């Protein structure tokens, strides 16, 4: 019997506001057969957030219980606020079924994945400049002024980690970055590119 090839785990990470969520949404629309693992979070839903689609919204207590049960492949407290985690079972099930899986996670989570899934393809998203990163965060308008400064300070540290990733992608023009991400994923998938 022919056994199905195990899928590849792709990790998209980078500083807050660089465009991870935007590029992830495009990748899922553009790339057939790419699945996304819906994360758990302790942050409250924002207007428009859909339970089970954007996140699984859980309480701090529930999140702690899930950690104790070993349900997370990785988890982190992001920007000193809410916790976020990737469900191990969801990812394993899809990879076992031969599906490629995309995770869009912060750099602490990405570090954990690199250590436990050595064949994951790690992609770091870079802003064209610090100024543009700040402009995007401001434009998104989801952070207070204090949160914005904290995220910019974290970003300066996080950007130093870019060189430890398999691929780096600059999110300057959205259409170009989105096409480049698609090419990157397709090249791995079809064996034209190796880590």
DSSP letters, 124-152, are: EEE-S-HHHHHHHHHHHT-S-HHHHHHHH
Min dist CB 68 to ligand ADP, Å, is 29
The number of helix segments (H) and strand segments (E) in the chain equals 7, 9
Residues 6+ apart with CB under 8 A from 75: 63, 67, 83, 84, 85, 86, 109, 112
Which of ligand ADP, ligand 5GP, none interacts with 76 (beta carbon under 5 to 8 A by kind)? ligand 5GP
- Residue 52 or 141 having the CB closest to ligand ADP: 141
Q: Cα dihedral sign for 150, 153, 156, 158?
A: negative
Asked if 109 interacts with ligand 5GP (CB under 6 A), we say yes
The closest of 15, 122, 124 to 79, measured between CA atoms, is 15
How far is CA 13 from its chain centroid?
5
Closest CA to 60 of 30, 29, 85: 85
Answer yes or no whether residue 42 interacts with ligand 5GP by CB under 6 A.
no
CB nearer to ligand ADP: give 22 or 71: 22
Interface pick for ligand 5GP out of 23, 34, 66, 76 (rule CB under 6 A): 76
**Binding status of residue 16 toward ligand 5GP by CB under 6 A:** yes
List residues binding ligand ADP (CB under 6 A). Answer: 16-22, 136, 139-140, 171, 174, 177
Which residue's CB is nearer to ligand 5GP, number 6 or number 43?
Answer: 43
Which residues lie near ligand 5GP (CB under 6 A)? Answer: 16, 20, 39, 43, 74, 76, 78, 84-86, 104-106, 108-109
């Amino acid at each position: 019997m022919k056994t199905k090839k195990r899928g590849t785990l792709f990790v998209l990470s980078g500083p807050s506001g660089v465009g991870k969520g935007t590029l992830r949404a495009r990748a899922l629309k553009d790339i057939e057969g790419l699945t996304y693992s819906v994360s758990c979070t302790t942050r409250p839903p924002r207007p428009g957030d859909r339970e089970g689609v954007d996140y699984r919204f859980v309480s701090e207590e529930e999140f702690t219980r899930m950690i104790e049960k070993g349900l997370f492949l990785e988890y982190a407290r992001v920007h000193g606020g809410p916790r976020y985690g990737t469900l191990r079972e969801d990812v394993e099930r899809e990879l076992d079924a031969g599906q490629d899986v995309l995770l869009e996670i912060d750099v602490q989570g990405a570090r954990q994945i690199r250590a436990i899934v050595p064949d994951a393809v790690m992609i770091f998203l870079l802003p064209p400049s610090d100024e543009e990163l700040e402009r995007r965060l401001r434009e998104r308008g989801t952070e207070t002024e204090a949160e914005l400064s904290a995220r910019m300070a974290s970003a300066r540290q996080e950007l130093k980690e870019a060189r430890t990733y398999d691929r780096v992608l600059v999110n300057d023009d959205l259409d170009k970055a989105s096409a480049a991400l698609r090419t990157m994923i397709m090249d791995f998938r079809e064996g034209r590119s190796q880590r």
